[in-house]
Chain A
Amino acid sequence: MADRPIERLLGSERRLETWTVATFDVIALGLVGVLAGHASGALGSVLPGLGTVPGILAFGYLWVLTLVATRWVLAEGGLSRTESRPLGRLLARGVAGAALVGAAFVGGLGLVGGLITLAPGIEPLSVALLTLFGAVGGALGGAVVGLVLGLFDVGVARTADAVVGRLAD
């Protein structure tokens, strides 16, 4: 039953690991962003301008993008130490997946935001350039976030391996 919606999104193997790692990455990124915004005092001025529905839609979009990218990153093998894949290849795939997520997320938001606010005086070319530059910036930011979160995810997964190994002894 490879055509079930959940399997199309998460794959047929390592579904719990894919669901967990992708959701953790999205939530951790959001939570660290909220904490940093709150600590700097910027949160109070940024949040009211976002709107509830656009915020929920943007978060859902990022969540789905991250699920699809995580499925692709883990398609060759999970995060466990017992998987035979070299760590460098896993991290490289994680950086590439996160760069694509960043490009699709920021570029997508730029495109939708540009189309919604497209006034008679604004050229469609401006929207296209906004989308393009947003996608490039998003890809660069996503690659950095992907490397940091990838290293963290692997570290926690290897810790889980060690905990399970100790429980088995």
Chain B
Amino acid sequence: MAALHLLVRTVHVLGMVLLLGGSAFAWNALRVDPDSSFPALYEWLFWGAMGAMLVTGVGNLGVLGAPGPATRWGRLLTVKLALVLAVLLGSLLRTLVVERLREGDTTAASGSLRRLYGATTLALLAVVVLAEVLAHG
């Protein structure tokens, strides 16, 4: 069982590496080449990784034990979950914008897309910081 829980935590950490690294890479790819096809690939990977993050995150909570909502740890968890929900909502809009732009001229919109990926990167970075505080105080 310990090996399974280690695997769950590993997938959770690697999922965040893919989400955060991918969005930063997409931001830079558009900076270097406004016609880059990487953002479209990232959108596919993003949603797969988000699904894995949810199921492994809930698995982690089950193993570690969910805190009471009024404790410091519980309040931090509420903030983290709310932030993840905000990232999720923003990402739905971002993906649908990217999908629609793929059918037209993306070059003119690359500046706006870069800002979207920049905002995604910063929001995910905030999630990582909150996760570190939750794990290590």
Contact = CB atoms under 8 A, between A and B. Distances in A.
B25 to A, nearest CB: 18
Given A16-B43, A50-B62, A160 B54 contact: no
B47 to A, nearest CB: 4
B95 A16 contact: yes
B108 A32 contact: no
B119 interface: no
Interface residues of B, number: 45
Contacts of A39: 69, 78
**Size category of the binding interface on chain A:** 35 or more
Interface of B: 4-5, 8, 40, 43-44, 47-48, 50-51, 54-55, 58-59, 61-63, 65-69, 74, 77-78, 81-82, 84-85, 88-89, 91-93, 95-97, 99-101, 104-105, 108-109, 112
Given A23-B50, A35-B85, 18 more contacts: A20-B99, A21-B92, A24-B47, A24-B91, A24-B92, A28-B88, A34-B61, A34-B81, A37-B66, A38-B77, A52-B62, A55-B62, A156-B92, A156-B96, A159-B93, A164-B100, A167-B112, A168-B104
